[in-house]
Amino acid sequence: MIALIQRVSHASVVVNGETIGAIGTGILALIGVEKTDTEAEAKRLLQRILGYRIFADADDKMNLNLSDISGGLLLVPQFTLAASTTKGMRPSFSSAAAPADGERLFDHLLQLARLQHQPVAAGRFGADMKVSLTNDGPVTFWLQVPTAR
């Protein structure tokens, strides 16, 4: 499973002109699901997202995580993160999970997040979404949890 996380001062996601999720200071996490991913990878990825220390402490060092600052989490499904871009001029999505599997694992990740952290907002799987954010820093990290098989 893949997460592209961004430290934000605010972020929101709009579907059909309606804001369906928004946060203030926190993390916007774009989530990609690959064919071999399972609930175990979703759980581990969430641990990394919630525990990743990307917020400044009193000494202006990245030592604080999302819980430490009581920040928001916005999870947005983005299957294009699973694309292979190593050859040619067009991405290949052969490693991306099938839509039903991707939606199931994204929903599992979202449920776990809501049990472990607040506030949590989310985009909508398969929807045409408009994502807005103000990246604070900018600070952006690629987190990937390899399949445990």
- Indicate if 36 belongs to the active site: no
Catalytic residue among 6, 78, 106, 125: 78
How many angstroms separate the CA atoms of 54 and 14, rounded? Answer: 26
- Indicate if 80 belongs to the active site: yes
- Indicate if 111 belongs to the active site: no
Catalytic residue among 80, 111, 118, 147: 80
Catalytic residue among 6, 55, 79, 106: 79
Catalytic residues: 78-80
